[in-house]
């Protein structure tokens, strides 16, 4: 009996082993198919997700391209509208006019007409920048970790007249840098009078001594900038970068990211980006909207010259300058009194003459326009005078200051252009197709620069279509006011030499009351 039970047990055990041997490949295939399905499912999920991202990117890119196409059409439309209004003068014969008014008057009027050509190169560069480059850029994205970037020195230069403003903006800029994840940086405040900045490892105050003199006798802001470069004062080393800011300049995360990306390469020694003037507290709507053309020029001429040609053909601004420390020390700000009124323009020409390359920095910074019309005039007057001194300087070869020379000539003949406009209301002046097209390109581009600057400052997505439309209409009116003020400044600088300035006027930058309109 026990023998029989033993045999049965062996048979059952043998059957179980045979069954398990048969199930093993089945379970193997099952788990393989299950794993394969999981892989296919994950692959399809990734493909669908990537496809969705690509579709979103394609949609965004198509929107950007549509906006750019509309921008170009609007620019060209402005030019052709001016041509249509001016075409009547191009078909008149000059024979009757010469016989009626004589050769001297005819020659004078032709001279006034052809003087407009001096302004053409500047607006051609603006036109090319707006047509060839898409002004509707996306928010910059970090191309590398901020921890791997070079040391950045954000340098603010002030006379110390507005300490509360400086301290508030320094604190804001520190927070922006920290939000981006920037750690390898410092904010330096270079001032004639101490503003009592709280000193720490991220903030440093440099007070320029009253008895400090540069080797060439530089004055004002150039003197302070040169003092910060002195070996016993500067803490910067080769490979470090300097970001120049005015006391009212506010950083944005996009600008800091653009600076990090720009300084991550060694392709260019200097760079600059866009500054807008209507983000925040609007004290004076006239001057703010009049400054819209400065924003448009940043997207047009500045971006084309620095981003494509890599040369500061028509100078640059004194803020949002990104410079290699060793390159700035090589160029220096010690070029004498003639370089101290528009030190940024003179510096750019000297750096250009020394063969340094320039680039365009992505991102936008915020500043404020002048608070009064009087300050607006004084500011433009200083710029015009400083550019003239740069154009007349013997320290810079002509080929490296060609832009400032043309800018000075253009400013000089502004009153003549106004005279031509007034005379043309009395006499039907003879005109050529070339002059008509030239005038139309200049005026059409000016109009569109105002429009673009306003739309880039006051975004449609933020303020709505109707408000932006009203702002554009108001900008065109303020632009006419700004042109009249530019004519006045040109007369003061070029036609009334006794009124030329010998000091560096600082416009009011600090709001002391709440009598302003806040843009949210």
pLDDT at 126: 97
Separation between Cα atoms, residue 150 and residue 265, nearest integer Å: 10
Whether 326 has a pLDDT exceeding 60, the answer reads: yes
pLDDT at 279: 82
Burial class (CB in 10 A: 0-12, 13-18, 19+), 74: middle
In a domain, 8, yes or no: no
Separation between Cα atoms, residue 450 and residue 372, nearest integer Å: 20
Average pLDDT on 325-346 reads: 95
In a domain, 71, yes or no: yes
Residues in CB range of 147: below 8 A, 6 or more apart: 181, 183, 184
The string of pLDDT tens digits covering residues 182-205 is 999 999 999 999 998 888 889 999
Provide the percentage of residues in the chain whose pLDDT is more than 70.
Answer: 79
* Contact between residue 231 and residue 332 where contact means Cβ atoms under 8 Å apart: no
pLDDT classification of 254: cutoffs 50, 70, 90: very high
pLDDT at 103: 74
In a domain, 16, yes or no: no
Residues in CB range of 325: below 8 A, 6 or more apart: 153, 234, 236, 237, 238, 239, 240, 241, 242
Tokens of 381: 């007057």
Instruction: Say which residue, 505 or 362, is predicted with more confidence.
Output: 362
In a domain, 12, yes or no: no
Whether 417 has a pLDDT exceeding 50, the answer reads: yes
Whether 519 has a pLDDT exceeding 50, the answer reads: no
Query: 498: domain range?
Result: 26-506
Average pLDDT on 411-424 reads: 80
Tokens of 165: 């403003």
In a domain, 6, yes or no: no
Q: What does DSSP assign to residue 400?
A: G
Average pLDDT on 35-62 reads: 57
Average pLDDT of the chain, as a whole number: 84
pLDDT at 252: 96
pLDDT classification of 29: cutoffs 50, 70, 90: low
Average pLDDT on 42-70 reads: 64
Q: What does DSSP assign to residue 239?
A: T
Three-class SS state of 302: helix
Residues in CB range of 371: below 8 A, 6 or more apart: 283, 284, 287, 507, 508, 509, 511
Whether 91 has a pLDDT exceeding 50, the answer reads: no
Pairing of strands 270-276, 185-191: unpaired
Separation between Cα atoms, residue 394 and residue 23, nearest integer Å: 96
Whether 500 has a pLDDT exceeding 80, the answer reads: no
Whether 426 has a pLDDT exceeding 80, the answer reads: no
Give the count of domains, the chain: 1
Separation between Cα atoms, residue 491 and residue 412, nearest integer Å: 8
pLDDT classification of 520: cutoffs 50, 70, 90: very low
In a domain, 251, yes or no: yes
pLDDT at 217: 92
pLDDT at 14: 46
Average pLDDT on 302-316 reads: 95
Separation between Cα atoms, residue 475 and residue 454, nearest integer Å: 7
* Closest alpha carbon to 189 in 220, 223, 226, 159: 159
pLDDT at 49: 55
Write down the pTM of the prediction: 0.83
The domain that holds 332 is classified in CATH as 3.90.550.10
Provide the terminal-to-terminal Cα distance of the chain, rounded to the nearest Å: 100
The string of pLDDT tens digits covering residues 464-489 is 889 999 999 999 999 999 999 999 99
Whether 350 has a pLDDT exceeding 80, the answer reads: yes
pLDDT at 113: 81
pLDDT at 66: 86
pLDDT at 266: 74
The string of pLDDT tens digits covering residues 163-175 is 999 999 999 999 9
Tokens of 333: 């700000």
Whether 501 has a pLDDT exceeding 70, the answer reads: no
Separation between Cα atoms, residue 490 and residue 299, nearest integer Å: 25
The string of pLDDT tens digits covering residues 442-466 is 999 999 999 999 999 998 888 888 9
In a domain, 512, yes or no: no
Whether 7 has a pLDDT exceeding 70, the answer reads: no
Q: Tell me how far the alpha carbon of residue 228 is from its chain's centroid.
A: 25
């Amino acid at each position: 009996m026990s023998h029989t039970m033993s045999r049965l047990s062996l048979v059952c055990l043998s059957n179980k082993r045979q069954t398990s041997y048969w199930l093993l490949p089945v379970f193997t295939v099952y788990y393989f198919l299950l794993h394969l399905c999981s892989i296919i499912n994950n692959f399809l999920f990734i493909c669908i997700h990537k496809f969705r991202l690509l579709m979103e990117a394609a949609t965004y890119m198509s929107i950007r391209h549509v906006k750019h196409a509309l921008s170009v059409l609007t620019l060209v439309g402005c030019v052709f509208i001016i041509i249509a209004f001016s075409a009547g003068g191009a078909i008149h014969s000059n024979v009757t006019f010469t016989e009626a008014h004589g050769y001297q008057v005819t020659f004078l009027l032709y001279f006034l007409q052809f003087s407009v050509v001096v302004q053409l190169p500047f607006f051609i560069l603006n036109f090319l920048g707006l047509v060839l480059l898409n002004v509707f850029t996306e928010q910059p994205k970090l191309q590398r970790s901020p921890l791997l970037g070079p040391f950045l020195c954000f340098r603010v230069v002030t006379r110390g007249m507005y300490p509360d403003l400086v301290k508030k903006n320094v604190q804001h800029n520190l927070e922006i840098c920290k939000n981006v994840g920037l750690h390898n940086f410092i904010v330096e405040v270079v001032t004639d009078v101490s503003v009592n900045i709280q000193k720490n490892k991220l903030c440093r105050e440099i007070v320029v001594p009253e008895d400090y003199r540069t080797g060439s006798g530089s004055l004002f802001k150039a003197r302070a900038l040169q003092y910060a470069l002195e070996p016993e004062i500067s803490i910067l080393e080769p490979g470090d970068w300097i970001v120049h800011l005015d006391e009212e300049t506010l950083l944005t995360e996009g600008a800091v990211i653009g600076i990090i990306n720009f300084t991550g390469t060694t392709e260019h020694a200097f760079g600059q980006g866009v500054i807008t003037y209507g983000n925040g507290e609007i004290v004076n709507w006239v001057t703010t909207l009049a400054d819209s053309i400065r924003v448009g020029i940043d997207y047009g001429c500045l971006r084309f010259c620095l981003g494509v040609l890599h040369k500061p053909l028509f100078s640059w601004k004194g803020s949002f300058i990104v410079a290699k420390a060793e390159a700035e020390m090589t160029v220096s700000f010690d070029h004498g009194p003639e370089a101290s009124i528009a030190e940024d323009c003179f510096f750019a020409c000297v750096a250009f003459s020394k063969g340094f390359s320039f680039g365009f920095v992505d991102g936008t910074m915020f500043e404020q326009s002048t608070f009064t019309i009087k300050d607006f005039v004084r500011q433009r007057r200083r710029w015009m005078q400083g550019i003239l001194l740069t154009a007349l300087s013997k320290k810079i070869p002509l080929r490296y200051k060609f832009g400032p020379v043309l800018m000075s000539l253009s400013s000089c003949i502004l009153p003549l252009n106004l005279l031509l406009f007034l005379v043309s209301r009395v006499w039907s002046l003879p005109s050529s197709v070339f002059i008509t097209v030239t005038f139309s390109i200049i005026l059409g581009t000016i109009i569109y620069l105002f429009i673009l600057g306003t739309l880039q400052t006051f975004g449609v997505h933020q303020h709505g279509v109707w408000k932006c439309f009203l702002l554009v209409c108001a900008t065109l009116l303020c632009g006419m006011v700004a042109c009249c003020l530019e004519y006045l400044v040109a007369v003061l600088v070029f036609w009334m030499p006794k009124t030329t300035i010998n000091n560096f006027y600082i416009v009011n930058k600090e709001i002391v009351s709440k009598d302003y309109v806040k843009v949210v």
